[in-house]
Amino acid sequence: MLLSIQDLHVAFRMGKLHGEVQRQQAVKGISFDVPENSTVALVGESGSGKSVTAMSILNLLPDNAERSGRILFQGRDLLQSAPRELQALRGREIACVFQDPMSSLNPVFTVGDQIMEPLMLHLGMSRKQALARAEELLHEVGIPDPKRRLGSYPHEMSGGQQQRVMIALALSCGPKLLIADEPTTALDVTIQRQVMELLAKLKEAHRMSLLFISHDLGVVGEIADHVVVMRHGQIREQAPVAQIFQSPQDAYTRALLACRPSLQDNPARLTVIDDHIAGRAARQAVSTKDPDAPVILEARGLRKSFFFREGLFGRREFQAVKDVSFRLRKGHTLGVVGESGSGKTTMGLTLLRLHEPTGGEVLFEGRDLLKMGASDWQQMRRRIQVVFQNPYASLNPRFTIAQTLVEPMEIHDIGADHEERLEIAAGLLKKVGLDESALPKYPHEFSGGQRQRIAIARCLTLKPEVLVLDEAVSALDVSVQAQVLNLLKDLQDEFGLSYIFISHDLAVVRFISDEVLVMQHGDVVEQAETSQLLAAPKQDYTRRLLGAVPRGYQGAGQSA
What averages of pLDDT result for each successive group of 10 residues across the chain (560 residues)?
96 85 92 96 89 92 94 94 90 86 86 93 92 92 89 84 88 91 78 85 91 87 94 95 94 88 79 78 64 92 90 84 94 92 90 92 90 86 86 87 94 90 93 89 84 90 92 80 88 92 88 94 93 91 88 53
pLDDT value at residue 560: 35
Distances (CA, A) of 297 to 17, 335, 375: 56, 14, 20
Positive or negative, the Cα torsion across 532, 535, 540, 545?
positive
Q: In what order do the strands lie in the sheet with 314-329?
A: 314-329, 295-310, 359-364, 367-368
Element (H, E) at 494: helix 478-495
- pLDDT at position 287 is 63
Look up residue 351 and give its amino acid: L
Q: Three-state SS string across 389-408, please?
A: CCCCCCCCCCCCHHHHHHHH
Give Cα 512 distance to the centre of its chain. Answer: 17
The CATH code that applies to domain 295-548 is 3.40.50.300
State the pLDDT at residue 290: 84
The residues facing 67 across adjacent strands are 10
Q: Is 273 helix (H, G, I), strand (E, B) or coil?
A: helix
Give CA–CA dist 477/304, Å, rounded: 33
The answer to whether the CB of 261 falls within 8 A of the CB of 249 is: no
- As a whole number of angstroms, the distance between CA 472 and CA 386 comes to 9
Q: Tell me if domain 36-67+81-241 and domain 295-548 are identical in fold.
A: yes
**Contact between residue 167 and residue 101 where contact means Cβ atoms under 8 Å apart:** no
pLDDT for position 551: 74
Q: Helix and strand tally (H, E) in the chain? A: 21, 20
- List of E strands, 394-478: 466-470
173 close to 95: Cβ distance less than 8 angstroms: yes
Can you give the residue ranges of every domain in the chain? 36-67+81-241, 295-548
For 36-67+81-241, CATH number out of 3.40.33.10, 1.20.140.10, 3.40.1160.10, 3.40.50.300 equals 3.40.50.300
| Res 272: pLDDT | 83
Residue 3 is predicted with a pLDDT of 96
